Amino acid sequence: MNKEEKVKYWLDLVDYDLDTAETLYNGGRWLYVAFMCHQVIEKVLKAYWTATQDAEPPYTHNLERLAMGCGLSQEMSEEQQHFIDLMIPMNIEARYPSYKEALSRGLTPDYCRSIIDRTKEMQSWIKSKL
């Protein structure tokens, strides 16, 4: 794949994951809404990385590392940086049940709607820089 095809690959995954977050929201699966939003941000950062860097994006789920490594963190507002920090623990893929339970307690329908909306804003902002 060339660079453009790789960026498109990441962006296609971003769109799919955002749709999945909305579906999970409609089903009341709050923990997984947050997880999918983390995935959206991770993948849009990897799309930006792929478009702007010579090296492939690293195999990491650390949003802060991705944002810094591709140079976007310097362009982010304080609010955007705070949102990245807020989303880091939402990568629940391999967490223990007690961690998931503790995280779930703070994930209300209103909070999850806010996470989706802020994820969409972040995704649009990063895409606009491509």
Beta carbons within 8 Å of 57's beta carbon, 6+ residues apart: 45, 46, 49, 50, 66, 69, 70
Beta carbons within 8 Å of 28's beta carbon, 6+ residues apart: 109
The model carries a pTM of 0.93
- pLDDT digits over 19-77, tens only? 999 999 999 999 999 999 999 999 999 999 999 999 999 999 999 999 999 999 999 99
* Best CATH choice for the domain 3-128 from the list 3.40.50.880, 1.20.120.330, 3.10.20.30, 2.40.50.320: 1.20.120.330
The residue ranges of every structural domain in the chain are: 3-128
